[in-house]
Amino acid sequence: MPSPSHVPVLLDRVVSLLAPALDRPGAVLVDATLGLGGHTEAVLSRIDATRVVGIDRDPQALELASRRLAAYGDRFTGVHAVYDEIADVLADLGLAAVDGVLFDLGVSSMQLDVRERGFAYAEDAPLDMRMDGTTGITAAEVLNTYPAADLTRILKEYGEEKFARKIAAAVVREREREPFTTSGRLVELLYAEIPAPARRTGGHPAKRTFQALRMEVNDELAVLRRAMPAAIDAINVGGRVVVESYHSLEDRLVKQAFTAATRSDVPEDLPFVPEGHEPALRLVTRGSEKAGPEEIAANPRAASVRLRAVERMRDSRGETA
């Protein structure tokens, strides 16, 4: 069983960004990617007034986190859902709006640590990669059924893999001989197809392909594209949305959503913004924040993190805090 003591990336900074929105009576945070509950535990222990609704599509993660957070009683509510279902989750709980929404995107340490889930390339395991193992296609099904053109596109877009076409052609060739079922055989293929000089840089040669398959299996970019406006719509005046992303496409989607939400609706050449036409939200972070060298040394996953946050300044009627 994985240890629930894993420290999330940029934990202190995330809590400090959320604190101004949550440090008031009755405040509610949606932890949209609950995982093992590290962020939620930090918020519950440091901000006494806050209640957390923890969402996760992974039933195993939800069970472990709920056990970890049981001491906080009714201040924590766990919900099995995908994070683009925020509006439905809040409606089911009778919540009109919340004070914070947090996303820590990508694969969790628990999913990587449990061999049977097939997320990790370090050991041979079934090619599953579903965050919710009860529904959807597996990585094996993607490899065994997708045309070469679709495999190439996925590896290029989601994995930023330079040898995408070569790998896709090899997968199609090899699956005719025998369908792919475990990660070990895929890793062998990647070592064979990626030239030796390229294998010596940029980390493990399977990293990009496994990331691409995971993002396809879990439809991660489409889910995120729907989740961002839903999260922005869900927050009260003074509420904040905080996002940690680990992939350039994810960060781009977050940046686009935040830019659109913080843009004024008056013409750019107008010398002033008339009252009532100020942007409904403001950027809290300048660009994206990154982890420092000490944290990266202690936790290599932090190397690719990009942290962004926005705050709602007024509601749809123009009322401000």
pLDDT digits (tens, 9 = 90+) for 41-97: 999 999 998 999 999 998 888 999 999 999 999 999 999 999 999 999 999 999 999
**Residue 35 annotated as lining a ligand binding site:** no
**Residue 83 annotated as lining a ligand binding site:** yes
- Give CA–CA dist 103/211, Å, rounded: 18
- Identity of residue 297: A
- Say whether pTM exceeds 0.85: yes
**Residue 38 annotated as lining a ligand binding site:** yes
Q: What is the mean pLDDT of residues 17-28?
A: 96
Confidence of residue 111 (pLDDT cuts 50, 70, 90): very low
Dump pLDDT digits (tens) for 160-194: 999 999 999 999 999 999 999 999 999 999 999 98
Backbone φ/ψ region at 62: left (φ over 0), alpha (ψ -120 to 50), beta: alpha
Confidence of residue 38 (pLDDT cuts 50, 70, 90): very high
Domains of the chain are 11-110+220-312 (3.40.50.150), 132-217 (1.10.150.170)
Among residues 102, 130, 98, which one has the least CA distance to residue 116? 130
**Residue 219 annotated as lining a ligand binding site:** no
**Residue 12 annotated as lining a ligand binding site:** no
**Residue 111 annotated as lining a ligand binding site:** yes
For residue 195, the tally of other CB atoms under 10 A from its CB is 11
Instruction: List CB contacts of 165: < 8 A, sequence separation 6 or more.
Output: 148, 152
CA dihedral over 79, 83, 88, 90, signed as positive or negative: positive
Distances in Å between the Cα of 59 and the Cα atoms of 4, 133, 161, 162, 269 are 15, 8, 31, 35, 51
For the chain, the distance separating the N- and C-terminal CA atoms, rounded to the nearest angstrom, is 45
- Give CA–CA dist 221/225, Å, rounded: 6
Dump pLDDT digits (tens) for 253-295: 999 999 999 987 665 655 555 556 678 999 999 999 999 999 9
